[in-house]
A and B are shown apart, each in its own frame.
Chain A
Amino acid sequence: MRRLSLILCAIALLAQGPKYKLGHAPSDADIATTDIFIAPDGKGLPPGKGTAFDAKETYSRRCARCHGTQGQGDQEGPLVGGKDSLKTAKPLKTVGSFWPYSTTLYDYIRRAMPFDNPGLLDANQTYAVTALILHWNGIIGEKDVIDATTLPKVKMPNRDGFVKDDRPGTGAKAKKKKK
């Protein structure tokens, strides 16, 4: 009897079926509404497009109050500048100097900005503001069109600036004592 139950358990595990049968299947529409993640290869970017030139009104109305009229920072830190500063005593981490992926910019503006009313910008406005910040950092031109195809191809200056966690020992390793 015990052997039989073990075999049944093994079969159940191999089948990988749901064990508790709780939870319910969401509709495709529910998933589509909730899933706003954008992959670094651009997967998830919506239709729409914008240029830095298109963004000026949106930026001054929705972004400048906190980020400064030219992205120089105001209530929040700057979005531009800091080139070649990361090795110095006073590193300035901005979109231009630090952010490794352009797609993060679209993802973050869409999910979290403006701070007091996230989701206010439509896709075109979001692409345009993304383009503006890239342009101010000297990464793209003012008339370059940013959309689902072009954005993932924008290589950020600090794209290769990140290393995996390889924290070295910071002190003499204590020998584990058995008590």
Chain B
Amino acid sequence: MKPNPRRRFLQLAPVAALAGCAAKPDEKTEDEKLPSMVGAPIRAYGERSPHDKTKRLVPDLKRPQLGSTRAPLADTEGIITPAGLHFERHHAGVPDIDPAKHSLLIHGLVDRPLAFSMAELKRLPSESRIHFIECSGNSGGEWKAPGGPDAARSCGLASCSEWTGVSLKVLLDEAGLKKEGKWLLAEGADACKMFRSLPIEKCLADCFVAYAQNGEALRPEQGFPLRLMVPGYEGNVCVKWLRQIKVVDVPYQSREETSHYTDLLPDGTARQFSFVVDAKSIITSPSGGQKMNGAGFHEIRGLAWSGRGRIDRVDVSTDGGKTWVKATLQEPRLSMAFTRFRMPWQWDGQPVEIMSRAVDESGYVQPTREELVAARGVNSQYHYNGIKSWKIESDGSVKGA
């Protein structure tokens, strides 16, 4: 029989207790009076400091499987969103998938239908790329009323990570794409088996299937064990829990590309397959809900991104849009990724309205809300990218404007 450590402790305890009673406080050495300098022990997986309470914004939903959480953009630094803070959007909950049993089926208009186990996918040539994902519903509330109160509520359905996986072109070449194949259907293994149709040109250009995010396996809510990455396109097409790709001749008009994720215009028609994310930016500090800690120096910080390529410039206004100053862009400025901008600023303590405006390498300028509404009305619901401003009051409070 092995000695039981607990039993051994119990046997020794009375002796230690007696010793404790016998010792007088003034007999302790100097060393014993000091608190231990030794910290916590080693551990297999690092967790955050208990003092760091940064969280996603979780709305109160009647069905928490059908909804989204928002990334706390004001409380992240640099361009990478930690996996645990990356926004979520699910249509029927997060499935629990055993990667040993998961496979990706590729079929339809191909010479050789193929099924890949996760192990086989990981043997193929891999690539890692940093890309944002933005839900096309991000900032959707601002169509009707521009006052989103803070960065998460106004703009938190966007995040940016490094993704690692296999180029879709490699997979389609293995299967032998037929020339009649013009669209691709990508379907997830979630309960509603959500799918989207994608044009084959985009799939061959830069799409990939990702099994890793920021150096580790995808989180379940990000599609573990496999998701599609479609750089620069609206987030919904980055199908999570990817289980099936079918090459077809026409788009299949899924629910998510007809009744949802289409942009209703004032004339009653709706724009369909409006995939590309237009250039957008948001000041994350100071931003709504924060409190200015006194007048004087503040660094204005924010994020900018575009589905059309790199961010070329971000202008910042600290006088309600009358004059603009070019912000400093943090390298690397990657195509279809978050770009961090910064600008030194002296706040005089007076009420002021601040805002940012992104310009991408295609020359596209982030529009004002007025320009956007003039072009698309207020019922578009998706793809809102108007300039967002924050009002700073003399008491230092910051509010959405």
Q: Which A positions have Cβ atoms within 8 angstroms of B? A: 16-20, 22-26, 30-31, 34-40, 75, 86-87, 89, 91, 93, 95, 98-101, 103-104, 107-108, 111-112, 115, 118, 161-177
Q: Count residues of chain B with CB under 8 A from any CB of chain A.
A: 74
How does the 8 Å CB contact mask read for B264-296 relative to A, with 1 for contact and 0 for none? 111111111111101000000000000000000
Interface of B is mostly: loop
Residues of B within 8 A of A26 (CB): 105, 107, 113-115
CB distance from B87 to the nearest CB of A (A): 22
Residues of A within 8 A of B248 (CB): 37, 39
Interface centre among B175, B254, B368, B371 (most CB of A within 10 A): B254
Residues of A within 8 A of B383 (CB): 167
Question: Which listed residue, A20, A34, A104, touches B124 by the CB 8 Å rule?
Answer: A20
Tell me the chain B residues, 197-224 only, with Cβ under 8 Å from chain A. Answer: none
Q: Does B272 lie within 8 Å of A165, measured CB to CB?
A: yes
Question: Which listed residue, A91, A111, A164, A174, touches B192 by the CB 8 Å rule?
Answer: A111
Query: B312 at interface (Cβ–Cβ under 8 A)?
Result: yes
Q: Does B363 lie within 8 Å of A176, measured CB to CB?
A: yes
Q: Does B124 lie within 8 Å of A22, measured CB to CB?
A: yes
Question: Which listed residue, A17, A89, A101, A161, touches B253 by the CB 8 Å rule?
Answer: A101
Query: B359 at interface (Cβ–Cβ under 8 A)?
Result: yes
Question: Which listed residue, B270, B278, B361, touches A176 by the CB 8 Å rule?
Answer: B361
Q: How many angstroms from the CA of A107 to the CA of B248 in the assembled complex?
A: 16
Question: Which listed residue, A89, A118, A168, touches B191 by the CB 8 Å rule?
Answer: A118
Q: Does A165 lie within 8 Å of B275, measured CB to CB?
A: yes
CB distance from B360 to the nearest CB of A (A): 9
Q: Does A93 lie within 8 Å of B375, measured CB to CB?
A: no
Q: Does B253 lie within 8 Å of A31, measured CB to CB?
A: no
- A/B interface sample: 21 pairs, CB < 8 A: A18-B173, A20-B125, A23-B116, A31-B113, A39-B248, A75-B63, A86-B268, A91-B268, A98-B259, A101-B253, A107-B252, A112-B193, A118-B92, A161-B268, A162-B262, A165-B271, A167-B274, A167-B375, A169-B364, A171-B365, A177-B313
Interface of A is mostly: loop
Q: A37-B195, A176-B363 are in contact. Are A30 and B273 (CB under 8 A)?
A: no
Q: Does B253 lie within 8 Å of A100, measured CB to CB?
A: yes
Residues of B within 8 A of A165 (CB): 271-276
Q: A171-B368, A173-B363 are in contact. Are A166 and B114 (CB under 8 A)?
A: no
Residues of B within 8 A of A36 (CB): 193
Q: A16-B111, A30-B115 are in contact. Are A23 and B275 (CB under 8 A)?
A: no
Question: Which listed residue, A20, A40, A75, touches B62 by the CB 8 Å rule?
Answer: A75
Q: Which B positions have Cβ atoms within 8 angstroms of A? A: 62-63, 66, 91-92, 105-107, 111-116, 120, 123-125, 170, 173-176, 185, 187, 191-195, 243-244, 246, 248, 250-255, 258-259, 262, 264-276, 278, 312-313, 359, 361, 363-368, 371-372, 374-376, 379, 383
Q: Does B113 lie within 8 Å of A100, measured CB to CB?
A: no
Q: Does B371 lie within 8 Å of A22, measured CB to CB?
A: no
Q: A20-B124, A30-B115, A86-B264 are in contact. Are A91 and B174 (CB under 8 A)?
A: no
